[in-house]
Amino acid sequence: MKPSADVLEIIACAALILVSFVGNVCLLYSTSKCIAGGLQTSFLLIISLAFVHLIKNLVVNILKIVYSSGILLDSCGCRALHFTAALTTSLTIWFMLYFALFYHRKLYRIVYPLSGAATLNQQKYCWKGISALWVAGVVVYIPVLINRKPEHINSGNDTSSPSTRRIHMDCLTGFANEQVEFYYGKLFLVLIDILPLAILVFVCFWMALLLSEKKKMTYGDIWIGDDDSETEVLRGAKFSIMLMLLITPLWVSHFILVYFLKDLEAYVFIPAVLTTLSSGFSALGPFLLMLVNYKMKLVSFCGAQWEKSTPQPADIILSPYA
C-alpha cells in the first residue's frame, strides 16, 4: 500500500523540523561562543538567518503537520500559515543578499585597495539595516494576514478522503478585488523575492570573479600570504556563493511547481516536494556553513583561535569564519 499525500507531507515536515532545529541551534550556539565585546555584522546576519529559519520550520511546518493529521485549519490558521511562509522566505533572501553585499564590499577592497577610505560604523548600520528589513517584511505582508479571504477551505462534513486533501489547494486564500489580487498578490509579492534573488546571483558571480583575481594576486611571482581578516573575507565570500547556489534552485523550483500546481495536484508526492523545496534551505544552510568551514566538526567558531597559545593582536576581529 502506497503512503498517502498526508503521510508523505508529515514525514517531510517532521524531518525538516528536526534537521533545521538541530542545525540552527548549533549555529546559534557556535556564534554565541564567539561573541566578545559586541556583535559584529557577520554575527548579526547569521543570528538573523538562524532565527528566520527556526520560525519558518517551527510555525509553517508544524501547521502543515496539524492540517495533514486531519485537524482542519480555519481562515485565521490559513492566513497565519501563508503570512509566516511568505515573510520568512522573503527575509531569508533579503538577509542573504545583505550578507553577500557585506562580503562583496570587503572582498572588493582587498582586491582593489582604497587609500584613505573612511571607516564606517558597520555594527550601527547593520542593526539599522536588519531592523529595517524585519519591519519592511511585516509591512509588506500585512495585507496577506488581514485582507485575504478564503477561497476554499474544507468544511467539517467534507467527504473527501484524507489522501486527496492538499493544504496547498484547500487552504488557498485570495483578495476580494481582482486588481489587488493581480498587482499585489501575483506581481508585487513575486518581484520582492525574484529581484533580490537576481541581484544576489549577480553579486555572487561578481564575487567569484574577484576571488579569481585574488587567487592570481596571491599565487603570482611573490606570495605574501593572507592575514586573519582576509581569511574571514575569503571564507565569507565562498560561503555566500555556495548558499546562493543552494537557495536559487530551491526557490525557482518551488515557484515553478506552485505555478503549475493545479496540473500536478493529482500526484501524491507533490505536497511533500513543495514542503521540501520551501524549507530545504533553512534545514541545509546551517550544515553547509559547518561543512564548508569545519568539515562537520561541531565546534565553536572561535574554538581554534582560543586554543592557540600565541596571543592575537588587539585589532583582530573575531569572525565566524576565522
Are 93 and 247 spatial neighbours (Cβ–Cβ below 8 Å)? yes
Q: Which domains does the chain have, with CATH numbers?
A: 5-112+135-155+176-307 (1.20.1070.10)
Per-residue pLDDT of 142-160, as tens digits, reads 888 876 555 544 444 444 4
Task: Tell me the β-bridge partners of 152.
Answer: 172
Are 148 and 82 spatial neighbours (Cβ–Cβ below 8 Å)? yes
Per-residue pLDDT of 96-129, as tens digits, reads 999 999 889 988 988 888 765 555 556 667 888 8
Residue 219 DSSP SS3:
coil
What separation in angstroms does the CA of 259 have from each of 44, 143, 182, 186?
A: 34, 21, 14, 10
What's the pLDDT at 45?
85
Q: CA torsion angle for 142, 143, 149, 155 (degrees, to 10)?
A: -20
User: Does the CA dihedral 122-125-128-131 come out positive or negative?
Assistant: negative
Are 298 and 30 spatial neighbours (Cβ–Cβ below 8 Å)? yes
What's the pLDDT at 148?
57
Each residue's pLDDT, cut to its tens digit, for the chain (322 residues) gives: 456 777 888 899 999 999 999 999 988 887 777 665 555 777 788 889 999 999 999 999 998 888 888 777 677 778 888 889 999 999 999 999 999 998 899 889 888 887 655 555 566 678 888 899 999 999 999 888 876 555 544 444 444 444 334 555 556 656 777 788 888 888 898 999 999 999 999 999 999 999 888 877 655 444 445 556 777 788 888 889 999 999 999 999 999 988 887 777 677 788 889 999 999 999 998 888 766 544 333 333 454 444 443 444 444 444 444 3
CA angle 60, 64, 69 (to 5 degrees): 150
